[in-house]
Amino acid sequence: MLGKIKLEHATQEPQWAHIILDITPRGFSTGLLKHNEMYFEIEVNLVNNKIIIENSKETKEIKLENGKTISEYYQELLDSTNRLGLPISVHTRPQEMETTTPFEEDVEHHHYDEDVATEILTWFQFAWDVEQQFIAPFRQRKVYPGLFWGTFDVSCIVVYNEFEPFPDDSKVIERAAFDEHMIEFGFWLGDDNYEHPTFFTLPYPFVEGVELETNDEFPEGSYYSPEMAEYLFEMKDGLDQADQKEVIRFMEESCKKSFEYLEWQNTHHYFAELKMEKNKKAE
């Protein structure tokens, strides 16, 4: 729901960069948005288990609790935003998900587990941190890390500025997501095919007819998946054992290999060291 609100109210950018939800110390947020002359923000706070809707004058809260349905959350969100003078209107059918039941009709999904929510937030913050360390000094156009809510992955993107339209213009999401040479660096929590939280690197145009390689420069356990057309690095030992430096090394090496496949030119300066005194983060 937050994502769809940001979709409607954020200024549009290439690669859907404007729809990303910000990772926060407590959950994730739309960041600053504007409706007519009113500035507002909506945050899902997974620490205090509530949704917070704010403008410059007022705050409304919705409790996150087990047993409350999607339909109930949606109605409470509409009621709260209306009271703040925000007549929110979104397309209520989920996208990029197995369920297609509109929010106002969904009484099936009603589970909320505080411990699981906290664990997810911790993984998302870890992913945001390592991706930020990797991409922030990168000397090329980029999309900073955030939650792509449709696929529920925390990702960042490097864009090469070479136009490459998606071949099927009827696919509304893909035709905007993939229209320039790019490499996506992301993280997702796992699914039916991947048991463990996993980092991935996806070059576009998509890899076809060739299997990319890993070498000794990659961290142990990295591999290329022809089925996914991605480099993968699974976090099999849990968050406590996850090594930031190894994840960043995975992104750096898969980035270089993706450069080779995509035949990007004049990239030698992308990793050139910044001419700045190192701050506390870099020490």
pLDDT per residue over 241-279, tens digit each? 999 999 999 999 999 999 999 999 999 999 999 999 999
Residue 281 has pLDDT above 90, yes or no: no
210-237: average pLDDT: 95
State the Cα angle at 2 between 84 and 67, rounded to 5°. 95
Q: How far is C-alpha 199 from the geometric centre of its chain's CA atoms?
A: 12
CA nearest 73: which of 82, 81, 64, 85? 64
Residues whose CB is less than 8 angstroms from the CB of residue 117 and which lie 6 or more positions away in sequence, other chains included: 46, 49, 64
Residue 76 has pLDDT above 90, yes or no: yes
pTM recorded for the entire structure: 0.95
Instruction: State pLDDT tens for residues 126-161.
Output: 999 999 999 999 999 999 999 999 999 999 999 998
Q: What is the pLDDT of residue 282?
A: 79
Residue 283 has pLDDT above 80, yes or no: no
Q: What is the pLDDT of residue 88?
A: 87
Bridge partners, residue 29, by sequence: 22, 43
CA nearest 247: which of 127, 120, 119, 124? 127
Residue extents of the structural domains in the chain: 2-112, 115-262
Burial (Cβ within 10 Å: 0-12, 13-18, ≥19) of residue 178: buried
Residues whose CB is less than 8 angstroms from the CB of residue 168 and which lie 6 or more positions away in sequence, other chains included: 174, 175
Task: Give 22's pLDDT tier (boundaries 50, 70, 90).
Answer: very high
Q: What share of the chain is helix, strand, coil (3-state, %, to 5)?
A: 30, 25, 45
226-238: average pLDDT: 95
